[in-house]
Amino acid sequence: MIVGVVGLGLIGGSLAKTYHEAGWTVYGYDLNESVSRFAELEGTLTAVLDNKNIKKCDLIHIAVTPDAACNWLEQHGSEIAKTTMVIDDCGTKRKVVECGMRVAAQYGFTYAGGHPMAGTHLSGYKNSRATMFLNASMIIVPPTHDDILLLDRIKSLLEPMQLKRVVFTSANDHDSMIAFTSQLPHVVSNAFIKSPSAQQHKGYSAGSFRDLTRVAWLNENMWTELFLENKDNLLREIHTLINNLTQYADAMEADDATALCALLRDGRIAKELSDK
């Protein structure tokens, strides 16, 4: 089996290493030619992905930003074989799925939107690893939800990732939920660490500080694109959080222990319910 990987950063590099470890032939491409060549020299790539070997691919993963994914699809869609499955790995889905479905229909290959729920605060090929997706979830936006053979084919092509589950959903539902589970935590972490107190935290911080600030260390260019593309959903979550925080502040300003205790209890119960 042959996989092509477009973009050899943290996610794309990990995909290349994962499929290589599973015994697949891996062709890969990165805008930074030195990254592609390094991955080839170390043995992860069999060759750099180009317009000659692209038609050999059984699967193509596109692991770049939504705008870059759309640009790549529009430029190379005509080179993709009709037997190839194309899956993007972008952090938002509405824009790239619309583009991917349109280009796939034009040239006859099969496309599905994807989003592996894995990663670290670090970036780049140097931080990628073959075990990145072990026991993670993969969200898939398929072209149709009632073609069992197609859904089974997608699952089969994802087997090298050793996922815990594959979740099939729509682009709208993905973007609505990801605003809460991924994007809002990045905003909160990035805003939290801007407190003047952060510069004096050493000796006063433990696990809660590390957990809350881990994703403040982010790629600001990538996340700016993702936030703005999904701003309707993300703004809803930000305003919900602001309203919730205001309730805590109001209770403390009023020295209302009963109200504060109730808010804390409700939060604990909400966590318990979310973990079931």
Instruction: Write the pLDDT tens digit of every residue in 152-182.
Output: 999 999 999 999 999 999 999 999 999 999 9
Domains with residue ranges and CATH for the chain: 2-169 (3.40.50.720), 174-275 (1.10.3660.10)
Percent of the chain whose pLDDT exceeds 90: 88
Asked whether the beta carbons of 90 and 224 are under 8 A apart, the reply is no
In 3D space, the residue among 17, 30, 40 whose CA is nearest the CA of residue 63 turns out to be 30
E-strand ranges in the chain read 2-6, 25-29, 47-48, 59-62, 85-88, 110-116, 137-141, 165-168
- Two tokens at 70? 């759309």
* pLDDT score for 209: 86
User: Does position 201 have pLDDT exceeding 90, yes or no?
Assistant: no
Average pLDDT over residues 211-234: 93
In 3D space, the residue among 117, 131, 106 whose CA is nearest the CA of residue 178 turns out to be 117
- Two tokens at 270? 């909400």
DSSP state, residue 53:
T
| C-alpha–C-alpha distance, residues 170 and 59, integer Å | 21
* pLDDT score for 58: 98
Average pLDDT over residues 15-28: 98
pLDDT in tens, 237-264: 999 999 999 999 999 999 999 999 999 9
What does pTM read for this prediction?
0.90
User: What's the full length of the chain, in residues?
Assistant: 276
